A and B are shown apart, each in its own frame.
Chain A
Amino acid sequence: MPDLKLLAVARTVPWLPLGIATALAVVIVAWPVKDPGPTGLQAVAILLASAGGFALDDPAGSVLAASPTSILRRRLLRLLVVWVPVGLTWALALAVRGTDGLEETRTLTAMFAGLVGLTMAIAGVIGRRRLRGGAFVAPALLALLFLSTVFPPRWRPLPMGDVPGGLAQITLRWSVAAMVGAVVFLASSRDPAAR
């Protein structure tokens, strides 16, 4: 088992946004509602994903840039430290709040994965130019979701509501978003010095 020094990495992660997002998620999940639709869990997914955008904010980034550890490896370690607890929080929120069945659970999880993918893509691209780009991730995600609503439901790439084709289509589109996000993140994590 390689020593990943995860505690050392965890010390440099800005945890406050994740703490705020988790606290708000607890309030949303625990809030008593007559008909618990998916809106609450969608809000939780957006909150957690937006807060996770700070994962790549590394105060020691400029110092570590000169180290032999590649930018991709450093970023993956940070993602491991941040997204494992965030993923567990999401699973807990799903379990406590409950859904209308397995298909809705799958759709909401695809949406969460899509939001995470987009967040990482935005953070990765911004992180190449700024050491602390996390502050710009949540607004960029907000703008992307706004932009998606401009399209008619048939073509909406990031659907938050119903679209023709139902839950299967929503799951498909968010899964595509997750994959595109992952590819953009990997592309943004190439070593700047590599030729």
Chain B
Amino acid sequence: MSQAARALGGLEGRRLLRHPLFLTGTGFVLIGTAYFVRSSLVEATVAWDDDAWTIGAGFTFLGLLAMIATNLAALRDRRAGAVEQHETLPVARASRTGGLLLGVGWPVAACALLFAPIWLFAASKTELSALDLLHAVDTLALIGTLGVLGVAIARWLPNPFLAPVAAWGLILTSPAEANSRWHALSPFASAESVDLAAWHLVYLFGLAICLAGAALLRDRAPRALVAVIAGFGVAGVAAGVMLVTACPGPGRCQI
């Protein structure tokens, strides 16, 4: 990454943290946390799986809103009618895309900071397993992947209507009680075993790399195609393992 991309990454990251959509998403996380705290104070025993789902839902909402925020950030020059003006800058367009992609790291880091005290509080109230820890890391990876998806959508389909549509699409296709095979590939899938959760994490990382490469590919950045292929390969292998493990036969999947 060029020096300009790193500098832009810091700038975009700080702007994302102040974005009204990110702040709204943080509000949802706090509401979800308040529900969990209330449960832990009212009920004699609490379990992360049964009582902390509100926190997970809050972070999922935050991820979707962060995706729209990164999309709007990537489309800022179009909204301002400054695309041609920016093309005259000495910094390549790929560096600006790289900056946007690096900027996604800031919301992820902020979410990790937000998650840490919640996790410590939960640990003081209930026993947390390795699977719970993987789900927590998965949530952070999800926010990063969705943020990168927002940039990729903006680069390939530059219309501000499409990121909210993608958000609704992800919500409406998210796993429910009766899941089909393809639900295992939803970014929101919550694996029921440590192995599957680990593979889901690898799947999200692969997906993020693939999407970041796709965003840079639009700007003809060097090695972008390699990133797309590598990310697609990693996500594909993880998806294959998840499908074979979670859906051994025809019918419903355990994910």
B64 touching A135, Cβ below 8 Å: no
> Beyond A139-B68, A143-B65, is A43–B161 a contact (Cβ under 8 Å)?
no
B72, B75, B79, B164: most-surrounded residue (chain A CB, <10 A):
B164
Question: What is the size category of the interface that chain B forms with chain A?
Answer: 20 to 34
- The docked-state distance in angstroms from the alpha carbon of A150 to that of B167 is 18
A62 to nearest B CB, angstroms? Answer: 12
Which residues from chain A contact B159 at a C-beta distance below 8 Å? 16-17, 20
Q: In the complex, how many angstroms separate the beta carbon of B173 from the nearest chain A beta carbon? A: 11
Q: Which residues of chain B from 115 to 165 have any CB-CB distance to chain A below 8 Å in the complex? A: 159-165
Residue A132 at the B interface, CB < 8 A?
yes
The bracket for how many chain A residues form the interface is 20 to 34
**Known contacts A46-B168, A47-B168; A139 and B161 CB within 8 A of each other:** no
Asked if residues B160 and A135 are in contact (CB atoms below 8 Å), the reply is yes
- Given A132-B79, A135-B75, A143-B24; A21-B65 close (CB under 8 Å): no
Give residues 10-49 of A contacting B (CB, 8 Å).
16-17, 20-21, 24, 39, 43, 46-47
- Residue B28, interface by CB 8 Å: yes
A20 vs B161: C-alpha distance in the bound complex, in angstroms?
A: 9
In the assembled complex, A146 has its CB within 8 A of some CB on chain B: yes
- Taken together as a complex, chains A and B put the C-alpha atoms of A138 and B165 apart, in Å, by 8
B82: interface (CB < 8 Å): no
Q: In the bound complex, how far is the Cα of B28 from the Cα of A65, in angstroms? A: 38
The verdict on A174 contacting chain B, using a C-beta distance below 8 Å, is no
Residues 164-183 (chain A) with a chain B CB within 8 angstroms:
none
Dominant secondary structure at the B interface: helix
Q: Do B161 and A54 touch across chains, with their CB atoms under 8 A apart? A: yes
CB <8 Å contact, B72 and A135: yes
Task: Type the 1/0 row for B159-203, where 1 means its CB is closer than 8 Å to any CB of A.
Answer: 111111101100010000000000000000000000000000000
A138 to B67, CA, bound (A): 13
Question: What's the nearest-Cβ distance from chain A to residue B201, in Å?
Answer: 25
* Bound CA span A50–B163, Å: 12
Of A16, A134, A142, which one neighbours B168 at CB under 8 angstroms? A142
Contact between A142 and B64 (Cβ–Cβ < 8 Å)?
yes
CB distance B165 to A47 under 8 Å? yes
Q: A135-B75, A143-B24, A143-B65 are in contact. Are A50 and B164 (CB under 8 A)?
A: yes
Contact A39 B162 (CB under 8 A): no
Contact flags A123-157 to B (C-beta < 8 A → 1, else 0): 00000000010111011011100110010000000
A184 to B24, CA, bound (A): 21
Given contact pairs A43-B172, A135-B75, A135-B79, A142 touches B65 in the complex (Cβ within 8 A): yes
Interface residues of B in 48-89 (CB under 8 A from A): 61, 64-65, 68, 72, 75, 79
Known: A134-B160, A139-B72. 10 other contacts (CB 8 A): A16-B161, A17-B161, A20-B161, A21-B161, A47-B168, A50-B164, A132-B79, A135-B79, A135-B160, A135-B161
For this complex, 22 residue pairs linking A to B, each with C-beta atoms less than 8 Å apart, are A17-B159, A20-B165, A21-B165, A39-B172, A46-B168, A50-B161, A50-B164, A54-B161, A135-B72, A135-B79, A135-B160, A135-B161, A138-B68, A138-B165, A139-B68, A139-B72, A139-B164, A142-B64, A142-B68, A142-B168, A143-B21, A146-B61
Binding site for B on A (CB under 8 A): 16-17, 20-21, 24, 39, 43, 46-47, 50-51, 54, 132, 134-136, 138-139, 141-143, 146-147, 150
Closest 6 CB pairs of A and B: A135-B160, A138-B164, A17-B161, A139-B68, A143-B24, A146-B61
